[in-house]
Structure 1
Amino acid sequence: MNINYTVTERFTKYVKFDTQSNYESKTNPSTAKQKIFSAELVKELLNIGINDAFLDEFGYVIATIPSNTEKNVPIICFCSHVDTSPDCSGENVKPIIHYNYQGQDLVLPDDINVVLKLSEHPDLKHQIGNDIITASGTTLLGADNKAGVAEIMDAANFFMQNPEVKHGTIKILFTPDEEIGRGVDHLDIKKLGADFGYTIDGETLGSYEDETFSADGMQMLIKGVSAHPGFAKGKMESAIKIASEIIAALPNDRITPESTAGREGFIHPVGISGQVEEAQVDFIIRDFDDDKLLKHEDELKEIALKVMLNYPNSSIEFKVQEQYRNMKKVIAKHPKVSEYALKAIERAGVVQKKQSIRGGTDGSRLSFMGLPCPNIFAGEHAFHSKQEWVSVQDMQAAVRTIINLAMIWEEEA
């Protein structure tokens, strides 16, 4: 299959758009700048001949590549998110291509203290001879998930330029606010009209992920007792100190992000705010097993209530919100979704690596909304950091995988 790749040019253009999402925002999408980039994607989709591409009020880009086969093929959707993480600046990204990487340290020029070392990034050992793209040292790169966006766009361009390649109807979906957990909050799944989907948002070359964490958020609202600090003896019960004691009472050697790996879940405090009279602590809770997830929540409550025994005039309230669930429950019911994806990866000349995600994707929620949606590699590494990188060759392999996957669904119909 002869592909005139455009993925590198697209990617290095896309990362220059600042699309950082914002946890604190109440708007949809959370930042208007995401829609500026999404509008550019619509323009490009229209230019390559996809006539129904549009951007809706909530920041979703939806487009259709019409079927060119007489077969009755399920409608497949390819999805990536346009936003970048709030954890690291995405403003004024300067992409740098390091050609013919040979295992050397990559010192990023705008901050020489930011260095990519083979010893710290083991996947670099598989990139000898490849071309590595980084930012310049002061921002993240945005490969999470603009690598996926560029790969889908390149594959779409291929299909429009090569009408002889048979495929069913293909839907394209670009979402905002994935990084802050709101990626599909306002998506009209019926309007999308797909049968099965794939997020292109994975890491290592060849990776295929059909399982995510199940995830909840827990908010603790602590009401203490305020008093003038000069006359507070025997009266004051500081909500700030109570919150701090609860966090300090958490285990250090288990059920924390820094002490777990593989299929182990965790409890993680992500925010604390307040005054003497009232304070709030926000946690995220994760596990692959829903029963274990609930046990983590019970343990967290027990820890907090034990601390509260020392503060008889104060109170605590727990609010638990479901965030997403392990998508394997849904995807396991549709074996062809996985079978065809793994076949497409191998047909792209890549060794497939079936694994689980210690996190979540838009695909987690899409799966439970009625669109079984596992995750395929985009090639992004060290995301949410100034050391983020991706290789040109991995992105090209992802493009081949997307094309192969659409072809296989048509072949097997």
Structure 2
Amino acid sequence: MDKQYAYSVTERFLRYVTVDTQSDPQSTTFPSTEKQKDLARILVQELQQIGIADAELDEHGYVYATIPATSDKKVPVICLCAHMDTAPDCSGKDVKPIVHKNYDGKDIVLPDDPSQVISVKEHPYLAQKTGDDIITASGKTLLGADNKAGVAEIMDAAQYLIQHPEIPHGKIRILFTPDEEVGRGVQHVNMQKLGADFGYTMDGGELGALEDETFSADGVKISIHGVSAHPGSAKGKLVSAIKIAAEILHSLPKDILSPETTEERQGFIHPVRIDGITEKAEIEFIIRDFTTAELEGHEFYLRKIMESAIGRHPGATATFEVKEQYRNMKEVLDKHPEVAANAEEAIRRAGVEPLKKSIRGGTDGSRLSFMGLPCPNIFTGEMALHSKHEYVSVQDMQKAVDVIIQLARVWEERAV
């Protein structure tokens, strides 16, 4: 990487986070919110301005673009992917990013709500970033580093590669997706149109992180059917679906199998939504573990809890619906070890020690891997995701740009 290069990643990032792209899990449209296309249109225009003529936005909200090959070798086509939406967990409207230059290592008080403090104790990675330029939101919204840091890094790297055709590399495809945060990010990707052999999502956290393993994930919906009756004459008749739902939730284990009590390779059963009236109630869960067998075990356990609760209420019935969401990408990536190996080498060449990790979650790469595009995840610097305490280091983002440049070189060098 040219040491004199004036990175554009920070100015791009500061611009992108001000565009509200929050996705909506309750929407039935695709993308789930039209406003995600507002950023997509900006990205297409900027890609065309830097010289990528085929940049386009399709009807589903995907941005496709090509960095043409500069090598005559037969280099596998790689895809660089990031998602444009932000999480529904916290507002992404009217984001006001703040750059804390030469961070002093102390807790960061967010000015628009001083009760929001990014503390070093709660965010130990922040302590490692003393001297960096740290970007946060102002206290009333999330920042949007997840995943606009990745978007900005891909855009900056694309600009660099276009400006430096002397760097030998194969054809590189760019894919920006909507709706990753609601689990639908690659639902309508045209894989034939994408035309890539291998991919990388830029959606990881701390500097050097390379993630080639994710949770396997299912969604479960329990629908409880009670018996409605006038409360004045309900004795022996009324069966409340709401109360049965409450019993199911109360029966969940308190010390295990929940996000708040698990870590590392431990899975969980997590209720994410409840809705109901006396006659009918629904509970939606996400089920997570690193193996499909453990996933099925958690679902069996949850089904038994449901059946026990229903059995205590004659007249009530329930259904248990399982929907596959994604599977552990490692099942695919282990068959293509060169994909992660090339990323490790690229990270080292960027002057960073690779940090192999497993994701307690998923990325677009989880599903892309099973759609024929083996796709591990590379760091972006985004931290404290889905919260008002979200932050990112400018220097981490710049290193991620360096990694992308080196990745293009490594694939070309190792091509037959």
TM-score range, shorter chain: over 0.9
Deviations 1:220-249 (A, max 9, x none): 111001110011111111000000100000
1:192 corresponds to which residue?
194
Find the aligned partners of 2:280 and 2:109 in 1 and give their Cα distance: 46
Percent identity, aligned pairs only, is 62
Alignment of 1:278-317 (within 5 A): 278-317=280-319
Amino acid at match of 1:314: A
Q: How many residues are paired up?
A: 413
| TM-score when normalising by structure 2 | 0.99
Deviations 1:13-47 (A, max 9, x none): 00000000001111111111100110000000000
Once the two structures are TM-superposed, the CA of residue 337 in structure 1 deviates from its matched residue by 0.2
Amino acid at match of 1:91: K
1:89 partner SS: coil
Once the two structures are TM-superposed, the CA of residue 165 in structure 1 deviates from its matched residue by 0.7
Deviations 1:342-396 (A, max 9, x none): 1111111111100100000000000000000000001100111001000000000
1:54 corresponds to which residue?
56
Amino acid at match of 2:78: I
Once the two structures are TM-superposed, the CA of residue 399 in structure 1 deviates from its matched residue by 0.3
1:136 corresponds to which residue?
138
Deviations 1:119-166 (A, max 9, x none): 111001210110000011100000000000000000000001111111
Q: Is residue 2:257 matched to residue 1:255?
A: yes
Deviations 1:148-195 (A, max 9, x none): 000000000000111111110000000000000000011111110000
2:324 partner SS: strand
2:363 corresponds to which residue?
361
Deviations 1:68-118 (A, max 9, x none): 111000000000000000111111111100011121121111011111111
Amino acid at match of 2:112: D
Counterpart of 1:222 (choices 221, 224, 231) is 224
2:271 partner SS: strand
Amino acid at match of 1:36: D
1:339 corresponds to which residue?
341
2:224 partner SS: strand
Find the aligned partners of 2:393 and 2:290 in 1 and give their Cα distance: 30
1:21 partner SS: coil
CA-atom RMSD in angstroms: 0.6
Find the aligned partners of 1:378 and 1:174 in 2 and give their Cα distance: 15
1:236 corresponds to which residue?
238
Amino acid at match of 1:153: M
2:170 partner SS: coil
Amino acid at match of 1:103: G
Alignment of 1:21-32 (within 5 A): 21-32=23-34
Amino acid at match of 1:72: K
Find the aligned partners of 2:364 and 2:402 in 1 and give their Cα distance: 22
Amino acid at match of 1:260: T
Once the two structures are TM-superposed, the CA of residue 4 in structure 1 deviates from its matched residue by 2.4
Once the two structures are TM-superposed, the CA of residue 308 in structure 1 deviates from its matched residue by 1.1
Structure 1 gaps of 5+ residues are: none
Alignment of 1:351-390 (within 5 A): 351-390=353-392
Find the aligned partners of 1:113 and 1:348 in 2 and give their Cα distance: 38
1:110 corresponds to which residue?
112
Counterpart of 1:164 (choices 155, 163, 166) is 166
Q: Is residue 2:177 matched to residue 1:175?
A: yes
Deviations 1:256-310 (A, max 9, x none): 1111101010000111111101111101100001101000000000011111111
- Bigger CA drift: 118-127 or 321-330? 118-127
1:100 corresponds to which residue?
102
Find the aligned partners of 1:107 and 1:266 in 2 and give their Cα distance: 33
Structure 2 gaps of 5+ residues are: none
Counterpart of 1:9 (choices 11, 14, 37) is 11
Amino acid at match of 1:335: P
Runs (4 or more) in structure 1 with deviation over 6 Å come to: none
1:370 partner SS: coil
Q: Is residue 2:45 matched to residue 1:43?
A: yes
| TM-score when normalising by structure 1 | 0.99
